[in-house]
Chain A
Amino acid sequence: IQLTQSPSFLSASVGDRVTITCRASQGISSYLAWYQQKPGKAPKLLIYAASTLQSGVPSRFSGSGSGTEFTLTISSLQPEDFATYYCQQLNSYPFTFGPGTKVDIK
């Protein structure tokens, strides 16, 4: 199963609403997770089962979708949110990741 993400790069300002899309080459039900990664750090789980917020993750992060199209939304971008975001399907092996979306400061 291939995953694509759009956009691959996003320039935004603090306070902006940001949406990242992840598309799967075939249906994966809701077996999708979103991770945030900052330079030199391990990925951090944000969203699992497409729309469930991981404990401790701010509520400005939300996820939606099922089947083949999914979105990650940050309702009001904060300085600590500038990072790269990856989707991952866990419907079947191999557990593929999307290519990532880098969110940069405008």
Chain B
Amino acid sequence: EVQLVESGGGLVKPGGSLRLSCAASGFTFSSYSMNWVRQAPGKGLEWVSSISSSSSYIYYADSVKGRFTISRDNAKNSLYLQMNSLRAEDTAVYYCARIVEYMDVWGKGTTVTVSS
């Protein structure tokens, strides 16, 4: 079964850091680009970052550029999002998603809450 499982969310103070992980299974992880998408409480979907299959190409939303870093370990079938200098507006459910020319497989999400 094709599956993505996020972990690493939690409560963090403003200015703090958190590292999210996404474990992939059931498909050849190293062949796909991957993404992070987030959803603030009661709000719509926001694309956060993308990384190509070999990590050659990386893109960020302006809202997180310079604070978040996406990475992957193809040997471990894992995707990561290092989040630094967190703000209240980063509070959201964070989803990882596989991408071909569209996002066809999504994880269930992990919740990040930034609050003092």
Chain A residues within 8 Å of B, Cβ to Cβ: 31, 33, 35, 37, 41-45, 48-49, 54, 86, 88, 90, 93-100
Contacts and interface: CB of A to CB of B under 8 A. Distances in A.
Nearest to A48: B102
B62 A48 contact: no
B44 A99 contact: yes
Contacts, number: 54
A96 B61 CA distance: 9
Majority secondary structure of chain A interface residues (helix, strand, loop or mixed): loop
B44 A42 contact: no
* Those 6 A-B pairs whose CB atoms lie nearest each other, nearest first: A48-B102, A42-B106, A33-B102, A97-B45, A95-B47, A93-B59
Nearest to B35: A95
Interface string B95-116: 1000101111011110000000
Contacts of A49: 101-102
A93 B103 contact: no
Contacts of A54: 104
Contacts of A86: 44-45
Contacts of B104: 45, 48, 54
B47 A44 contact: no
A74 B103 CA distance: 21
20 contacts: A35-B103, A41-B108, A42-B95, A42-B106, A42-B107, A43-B95, A44-B106, A45-B103, A49-B101, A86-B44, A86-B45, A88-B47, A90-B101, A90-B102, A94-B59, A94-B62, A95-B50, A97-B46, A98-B44, A99-B44
A95 to B, nearest CB: 4
A95 B48 CA distance: 9
Contact of A43 (B45, B50, B61, B99): B45
Nearest to A99: B44
Contacts of A94: 47, 59, 61-62
Given A42-B106, A45-B102, A45-B103, A93 B45 contact: no
B39 to A, nearest CB: 8
